[in-house]
Amino acid sequence: MLLIIAIAIGMRNITFGTDSFAYSNTFLQLKDLSLKEALNASIYEPFFIIWQWILGRFFTSPHTFFVINFLFFVCILVFAFTKIVDKRFLVFLIFGYISIFFFSNLITNIIRQGLSLSLIILAVCLYVQKERKDFYFFLSLFCASLFHYSTVPIALLLTFINVKNTKIKTLLFIWFAFSISFLLKIPSIFSPLINNPSLSRYMSDYASSIYDGGTYRNNFLIFSLFWIVLSLIIYKKINFNLKYSLILKFYILTNLYFLTFGFIPFSDRFAIYSWCFIPLLVWYPLSLMKRKQSLIIFLICLISLTIGIITGSFSYLYEHNV
């Protein structure tokens, strides 16, 4: 399946006006420059520039760049998941990510944020595995921040919050307080942070003109709440498993990012920092079963596949091909 996806990414037409179109142009511009010249010429984060520059030493086609970028993204996810589940269960977790509605955007369009998210997931999996923060946890957060600066607030949050010793009830109280502020459309105390260049561009007139979803998306709020409620039910069903509680805490914590900047167009790009944990919240409990329930796994796969088809998660496999 991953090979089919890689081929589809390599064959697709890179649409004018998209992020991927801009990355394609940057790749073509940087491949003939020295690294110093590339770092000075590009507006993107340093690790992404270095990543593009390195691949430009070996390949000339932007399509090849997107294929290798996808494979790199998947490799990070696979490595992360090996830290918390049996290797035989990896295929289900990967399927969970492939079928979720924002996956295609991560691997074909907002690829800087996609790479950054994969490193955030790696950091969380490392933490869940050891139940503490180590050098590699901080290294993953550091690298994630230098692939996409919008990750910096998340990295700081995960660095300074003692997740293990923070109660779920405390996080839920904070989440509901932020939700009330969101529903009442009260500007966040963190709103001055939009002066950060990586965040302020989402407030530009151009961003508002091309984003038709509006601000303060209540459907995003309901969607986020649904997974909190479902995860709390699962948490009780699996006898309050500690590692699962850590994943749930990370989900609630990172969802505060969306609630904080819900007044900005493209707020889904903030929400995705928490939504990226949804497949873990669904599939990790199944990996804990002493006797694997084949019927349950099959049904969840079928539901994921059906939802993926309905939401267009697999559209990149058959649309915009050259």
Predicted pLDDT of residue 9: 78
* Low-confidence winner among 11-15, 68-72, 278-282 (lowest mean pLDDT): 11-15
Average pLDDT across the chain, whole number:
86
pLDDT band at 132 (very low <50, low <70, confident <90, very high): very high
End-to-end CA distance of the chain: 20
Residue 134 DSSP symbol: -
Cross-strand bridge partners of residue 12: 321
Residue 72 clears pLDDT 70, i.e. is over it: yes
* Low-confidence winner among 84-88, 102-106, 294-298 (lowest mean pLDDT): 294-298
Predicted pLDDT of residue 17: 53
Predicted pLDDT of residue 43: 87
Dihedral sign (CA 242, 282, 143, 1): positive
Question: What would the mean pLDDT of 107-116 be, rounded to a whole number?
Answer: 92
pLDDT band at 77 (very low <50, low <70, confident <90, very high): very high
Structural contact between residues 22 and 87, judged by C-beta atoms closer than 8 angstroms = no
Structural contact between residues 256 and 176, judged by C-beta atoms closer than 8 angstroms = no
Structural contact between residues 319 and 109, judged by C-beta atoms closer than 8 angstroms = no
Say which residue, 85 or 316, is predicted with more confidence.
85
Cross-strand bridge partners of residue 321: 12
Cα angle vertex 91, ends 257, 273, to 5°? Answer: 5
Residue 88: phi and psi, rounded to 5, are: -70, -15
| Residues 11, 1: Cα–Cα separation, whole Å | 15
Joined together, the tokens standing for residue 209 give: 């003109």
Question: pTM, whole model, 2 decimals?
Answer: 0.90
Predicted pLDDT of residue 155: 95
Predicted pLDDT of residue 321: 46
Q: Report helix angle 111-130 to 19-30, nearest 10.
A: 100
Predicted pLDDT of residue 84: 94
* Low-confidence winner among 56-70, 119-133, 151-165, 301-315 (lowest mean pLDDT): 301-315
* Low-confidence winner among 27-36, 101-110, 185-194 (lowest mean pLDDT): 185-194
Closest Cα partner for 95 from 309, 289, 312, 301?
Answer: 301
H/E run at residue 241: none
Residue 89 DSSP symbol: G
What's the chain's Rg over C-alpha atoms? 20
Question: What would the mean pLDDT of 196-225 be, rounded to a whole number?
Answer: 70
Residue 322 clears pLDDT 90, i.e. is over it: no
Predicted pLDDT of residue 203: 57
Residue 263 DSSP symbol: T
Q: Give percent helix, percent strand, percent coil of the chain, each to the nearest 5.
A: 75, 0, 25
Residue 33 clears pLDDT 60, i.e. is over it: yes
* Low-confidence winner among 14-18, 94-98, 154-158 (lowest mean pLDDT): 14-18
